[in-house]
Structure 1
Amino acid sequence: MHILDQAFLHGADYNPDQWLDRPDILEQDLELMRQAQVNCVSVGIFAWTALEPEEGVYRMDWLKSVVGRLYENGVYTILATPSGARPAWMAKRYPEVLRVNVSGQRNHMGERHNHCLTSPVYREKVYLMNRRLAETFKDDPAVILWHLSNEYSGSCYCEHCQQAFREWLKETYGTLDHLNHEWWTAFWSHTYTSWEEVEPPFADGEQSTLGLKLAWERFTTDQTVDFCRQEVKALRDGGSRLPVTTNLMGFSPVLNYYKFRDVLDIVSWDNYPDWNMQANDTETAVSAAMAHDLMRSIKREPFLLMESTPSSLNWKPVSKLKKPGMHMLSSLQAVAHGSDSVQYFQWRKGRGGTEKFHGAVVDHYGKADTRVFDEVSQLGIRLKRLSQLDPPLLHSEVRPEVAIIFDWENRWAMENSAGPRNIGMHYVETLQDHYRAFWQQGIPVDIIDPETDLDRYRLIVAPLLYLTRSDIELKLRDFTARGGTLVSTYWSGIVNRDDLCYLGGTPHGMMDLFGLRSEEIDALTDTEQNQMSWNGRTYQLTDLCERVQVKDAEILAVYEQDFYQGEAVLARHTFGQGQAYYLASRAEPAFYLDFYEKLQGGLHLKQALPGQTLPPGVTAGLRESQQGQVIILQNYNQQAVRLSLRHALADLETRNTYTTGLTLQPYAVRFLIRI
């Protein structure tokens, strides 16, 4: 049976290529990995020069030896393709592989991700390297998964990319007339009369044609996905049929990760929250949880936590240590949200380079008697135990009845748009306002895009749906008419997929769905507030206040200040068999918890602890399989918390039972079932 089927993966990025002159250290690593309960490492991520020190001269023997010794010692390998950083000889001989920046200047050799994904030379070199790796390891039982490149990101503005962009535009728009219309290029007389006139949005070039900027973001994603496909093709041509992954980066703004769902067999990602930066870690926990749910929702399957730090980071303003217990909690948070692994960057700290002070399992001291090594080892022991739970936790799923719609393309359009609030629309933060309310109740959530099917959900939340595409209006109408509950907000249904404003009223295609029409929107400064009262409480409103003309919706709350005092801010409308709610402003966090608790009282959505009120800083995750459900209680407080229970629970690790209540120690994680 394959290790992926047997156990939670536990390990780290491993860089033996940096230590080839120290075979004693490579041998020490094997013993230390055994002590740390490591069963899997990612190898070769930035090893191109060690694998091909000069053009066409491949040296795979050292890698075969390392992978073999790991396997002999019970450690499997996730083998990387090294395309994340090219060797210096390649940049010198083929300057075209280096990126051209947004100012039109070709970069010098250096950094990582400094390569053109369109360059025929770079694509050929990556193909040859990947195929050679596949030919070498296609039948090796030690290798379980391909790790494609590293954190794909960034744009190149070279001539190759410009020409590819023009071809992409021709395929997307068909004719220049269509492109000119959709981009509204008559504005400032920027109409294109030839495809060759179209350039990327250079820093000193076209920045006011917003359709161009949006198209460039989409092209960058598509070109990156195409490069990823070519990496996979090389592996397949080399004879390997192993699954592939690449390490994504949560809510990173640079690429639309949903576009990778058909290329990757398994989604994995790198998680680096700011733990212990504040007196209370609840908000950090909420943010990390939402990112885990986003990554899981790409394929709506279990994912892998590919990178995290076992201690501190070195690339943020302050390198804060994880307090004792936080490593266990933050790692098992990923498991609670659907991860089948806990992996780190990095196994051993290097002696030089920009990440020499980044957290690692083994520091420069090089031995096992450290706090961090002990905490990693304890987690490894626990993951081994969790792999054997009954009902199973490993490979079980998270199956929410709630989904929040997040769209990278909507984000790009909103952030590029001039107005109504250029100091920040707070798109992701607003999603988190809604998400937090479910986290506080232990209600699982998917984070989906407009292309995702809605049939499995009972509640859809669609905040700030400024740009609508992929017939999302029709999907939301059908979802609600069939009995679903929909919640949306201000600044929705404003523009089409090319950032072209809709005519005839907004939210476009949804005015009858919500029973109202948006008339105008008032932007507030960071120090301004309005307020509303609902269900016996008063809540502060910030950011934007939309004025809506209500047709046949039921007004639930009104503005209490400014010239639109008394006008609707929260409304509900019956549409078919369902209900559609519209919130015309951004409310303070307390409102969302009160609002969604009230909705939950009527909807009875799937909940880890049904009807249970959770203390502040405590949440409950839920993973499911045919054999049953596992409840994962997590305490993000630095003090113990007592939880009263409505239903009896049993601890799957200790076999203890709890009928009326249980105490969660600081940073505790408990795996439970209902009895």
Structure 2
Amino acid sequence: MNQSGFIYGGDYNPEQWLAMPEILEQDIEYMKEAHINEVTLGVFSWSVLEPEEGVYHLEWLEKIMDQLYKNEISVILSTPSAARPKWLADKYPEVLRVNADRTKNLFGGRHNHCYTSPVYREKVGKIDRLLSEKFGKHPAVKMWHISNELSGECHCPLCQKAFQGWLKKKYQTIDALNMSWNTTFWSHSYQNFEQIESPSPKGEMGLHGLNLDWKRFVTDQTADFVAWEKAAIRAGGSELPVTINMMYDFQGLNYHKFKDLIDVVSWDNYPTWHKEAEEVTALDTALQHDFMRSLMKKPFLLMESCPTSTNWQSVSKLKRPGLLKAASLQAVAHGSDSVQYFQIRQSRGASEKFHGAVIDHYGGKDTRVFREVTETGEALLDLAQIAGSTTKAQAAILHDCESRWAMEDAQGPRNMGLQYMNTVKKVYGGLRKLGVNVDFLDMEENLSDYRIVFAPMLYLFRAGIEEKIRKFVADGGTFVMTYWSGVVDENDLCFLGGTPHGLMDVFGLRSTELDALYDQDVNAGVGEGKTYEIRNFCDLVKTNGAETLLAYRDDFYAGYPALTKNVFGEGEAYYVCADFEQAFYDDFCRKLAEEKGLERAAAEIPEGLDVATREDEKYKYLFVQNYGAEPAAFPMDTETYQPMTGEYDGVVRRFETVVFRKEK
């Protein structure tokens, strides 16, 4: 972005304050005092930019941009497509969405528009191009922010026709589609593509291939809309980078399908701090940061976070003193080149009038939140040289969106409490407690860059993942797969001939039955002097060459393998047969990390600390944060690792961030 150091700022909505120019002037002075160097403009500005069809008012935006530029504050300029003006919905009702039950929405809300609608695309393209022509070369503008938190789906006739065309392109013939979806079940075969409708609670929802392809279509149609907006920006003459702001663990879209359309990943982070132990929330948040960073394997942007409390969570709790800075720097520790807030100034009315902001309704700078925002800005200035540095990982987790879609729609073996994300978090937690950096992959990516790859509950196989795993292990890699993996193909059709499909020789076993446990049921894995609790799932496997490391303690399958290891080629394939407790993953990950010589940030990391690294050509940077309830001893060789920022005397205090660096 040609901006030195970190981006620091957030969403700003000056159109809400045009009648009070003195507030706008004051805001700029406050921003400068807080070290804010960026604002995101235009996110929901369409009705002010184009109050009537074809009548454009851009002068207010230009004036504000000029003022910001004079004060060395840059702009990320948003396209306004996330919320349409009333005149557009009234004159062109086709732009409003139709729900899965086939009812049409009234005007209102945010993402209440059809991405397929030619009219909507025309109007969006026109204003995007105009904004690009007018502001694409404005010296304040550094990046384009396309729409906002893309989400939702439309089931209107236009989308039905587009879906049918998408299916015809994929399957070519209706016979091929019927075979792939197993439509003879319940006698639901189709005679032509025009008969197919999107899933609906009033109609077809039992064809899992249909459900899965609809989700893929929604992703593709949304991505095509992003491409449409990007093309309009380019047609207006701007070649600046583009981004979309993604969301926490969002299952409505496969975010991997957007990485070729954008120049940088950005996301909006709103944890429910203080609901659980802080270290639990911190670990979950770190996972999401690492997922976002992994999409493009380079620094991302924290596009939104809250300076204090939100207004939309079930309980909107204040951040305790010190947490704002800690949470902001956690994003940086895990690869962000920005800290941005929603919002700079608190709105006076409507939906988010009580959502936290840098400047609240009181309007003064003598507040706790403004002071902490300023302190965070100062910390980012101290760490400016780290911006642009990268994160290197030797371990990865296969976390595939399409497999998760299919698994959570599968109707068995547990329809409540599948525990997929908890399993992912246990693997991630076992690695992160060692200070091991972790990448997240989908099945379309290459495995060869890693020493260890984990595949928790990889239910669906696609993109040739069987051959990738086979080659990875044969070439010397260590692969860890769990129960409920390799069960179905890319259309959610069950594999015949045994599972994990295509890999029974690699793992030296075959899965024979999967026992789903009731919530109160408990089993255990025992062996090597250890006993680990098991809940939810027990996979009963028949070994054929694999070594049993742990065995089940209870039930009719007591003595059956619960953890196995098989040597294949130059590598090793482990199979975790059951849903083990966190202690198992802590010990197992430590054992593998030591055996495989994984690079770790520190030999020992006390409970509650989050330790991560970034590096550039000259230095390696070590971030140590304490989310525990008490100060934690963390001895470091300060001649090798020199403290850059934070109070450090051998101890890291609660919510403190200490950053070290060493020459490479």
Q: 1:652 Cα shift?
A: 3.8
Deviations 1:412-438 (A, max 9, x none): 101111100001212122101100011
Residues 1:502 and 2:490 aligned together: no
Contact 1:144 1:242 in 2 (8 A): yes
Distance in 2 separating the partners of 1:654 and 1:265: 30
Give the alignment of 1:235-634 within 5 angstroms: 235-278=233-276, 280-388=277-385, 393-609=386-602, 612-634=603-625
What is aligned with 1:119? Answer: 117
What is aligned with 1:128? Answer: 126
Give the alignment of 1:4-15 within 5 angstroms: 4=3, 6-15=4-13
Distance in 1 separating the partners of 2:355 and 2:629: 25
1:157 is paired with a residue whose SS is coil
Distance in 2 separating the partners of 1:419 and 1:565: 23
Q: 1:36 Cα shift?
A: 1.1
Look up the equivalent residue of 1:294 and give its one-letter code. F
Residues 1:170 and 2:130 aligned together: no
Contact 2:382 2:645 in 1 (8 A): no
Distance in 1 separating the partners of 2:466 and 2:327: 37
Look up the equivalent residue of 1:163 and give its one-letter code. K
Question: Gaps spanning 5+ residues in structure 2: where?
Answer: none
What is aligned with 2:656? Answer: 668
Look up the equivalent residue of 1:640 and give its one-letter code. P
Contact 2:625 2:657 in 1 (8 A): yes
Match of 2:215 among 211, 214, 217: 217
Give the alignment of 1:56-205 within 5 angstroms: 56-205=54-203
Distance in 1 separating the partners of 2:140 and 2:610: 38
2:650 is paired with a residue whose SS is strand
2:53 is paired with a residue whose SS is coil
Change (3 A) 1:46 1:204: same
| Of 419-428 and 336-345, the range deviating more from structure 2 | 419-428
Contact 1:79 1:146 in 2 (8 A): yes
Contact 1:19 1:25 in 2 (8 A): yes
Deviations 1:445-473 (A, max 9, x none): 00111111112111000010100000011
Look up the equivalent residue of 1:374 and give its one-letter code. R
Look up the equivalent residue of 1:330 and give its one-letter code. A
Q: 1:625 Cα shift?
A: 1.2
What is aligned with 1:23? Answer: 21
Q: 1:648 Cα shift?
A: 5.3
Question: Gaps spanning 5+ residues in structure 1: where?
Answer: none
Contact 2:644 2:661 in 1 (8 A): no
Look up the equivalent residue of 1:326 and give its one-letter code. L
Match of 1:49 among 44, 47, 54: 47
Q: State TM-score, norm by structure 1.
A: 0.97
Look up the equivalent residue of 1:162 and give its one-letter code. Q
Q: Determine what percentage of the aligned residue pairs are the same residue.
A: 49
Look up the equivalent residue of 1:587 and give its one-letter code. F
Q: 1:217 Cα shift?
A: 0.2
Q: 1:507 Cα shift?
A: 0.4
Look up the equivalent residue of 1:516 and give its one-letter code. L
Look up the equivalent residue of 2:117 and give its one-letter code. S
Distance in 1 separating the partners of 2:120 and 2:151: 16
Q: 1:478 Cα shift?
A: 0.5
Distance in 2 separating the partners of 1:373 and 1:200: 49
Q: 1:584 Cα shift?
A: 0.7
Distance in 2 separating the partners of 1:177 and 1:625: 54
Distance in 2 separating the partners of 1:552 and 1:646: 46
Q: 1:90 Cα shift?
A: 0.5
| Of 119-128 and 643-652, the range deviating more from structure 2 | 643-652
2:397 is paired with a residue whose SS is strand
1:519 is paired with a residue whose SS is strand
Q: 1:250 Cα shift?
A: 3.1
Distance in 2 separating the partners of 1:306 and 1:652: 28
Distance in 1 separating the partners of 2:516 and 2:544: 24
Distance in 2 separating the partners of 1:198 and 1:530: 45
Look up the equivalent residue of 1:527 and give its one-letter code. Q
Change (3 A) 1:655 1:75: closer
Deviations 1:91-128 (A, max 9, x none): 11110000000110110001000000000000000000
Q: 1:538 Cα shift?
A: 1.0
How many correspondences in the alignment? 663
Q: 1:626 Cα shift?
A: 1.1
Distance in 1 separating the partners of 2:643 and 2:414: 50
| Of 487-496 and 612-621, the range deviating more from structure 2 | 612-621
Contact 1:250 1:294 in 2 (8 A): no
| Of 379-388 and 489-498, the range deviating more from structure 2 | 379-388
Change (3 A) 1:654 1:559: closer
Would you identify which runs of 4 or more consecutive aligned residues in structure 1 move more than 3 Å?
644-652
Q: 1:651 Cα shift?
A: 3.6
Distance in 2 separating the partners of 1:409 and 1:646: 45
Distance in 2 separating the partners of 1:535 and 1:342: 46
1:667 is paired with a residue whose SS is coil
Contact 1:250 1:295 in 2 (8 A): no
Contact 2:632 2:651 in 1 (8 A): yes
Distance in 1 separating the partners of 2:441 and 2:282: 20
Q: 1:645 Cα shift?
A: 4.2
Deviations 1:311-370 (A, max 9, x none): 011111101111111111111000011000000001111011111111110110011000
Distance in 2 separating the partners of 1:240 and 1:652: 42
Q: 1:655 Cα shift?
A: 10
What is aligned with 1:643? Answer: 634
Change (3 A) 1:655 1:122: closer
Distance in 2 separating the partners of 1:60 and 1:96: 27
Distance in 2 separating the partners of 1:361 and 1:75: 16
Q: State TM-score, norm by structure 2.
A: 0.98
Distance in 2 separating the partners of 1:650 and 1:200: 57
Distance in 1 separating the partners of 2:133 and 2:661: 46
Contact 1:467 1:495 in 2 (8 A): yes
Deviations 1:537-570 (A, max 9, x none): 2111011111000110000011101111100010
Q: 1:647 Cα shift?
A: 8.0
Contact 1:647 1:674 in 2 (8 A): no
Distance in 2 separating the partners of 1:54 and 1:505: 63
Q: 1:196 Cα shift?
A: 1.2
| Of 630-639 and 641-650, the range deviating more from structure 2 | 641-650
2:76 is paired with a residue whose SS is strand
Contact 1:649 1:672 in 2 (8 A): no
Look up the equivalent residue of 2:112 and give its one-letter code. N
Q: 1:650 Cα shift?
A: 3.6
Distance in 1 separating the partners of 2:280 and 2:618: 33
Distance in 2 separating the partners of 1:233 and 1:606: 43
1:441 is paired with a residue whose SS is coil
Look up the equivalent residue of 2:99 and give its one-letter code. N
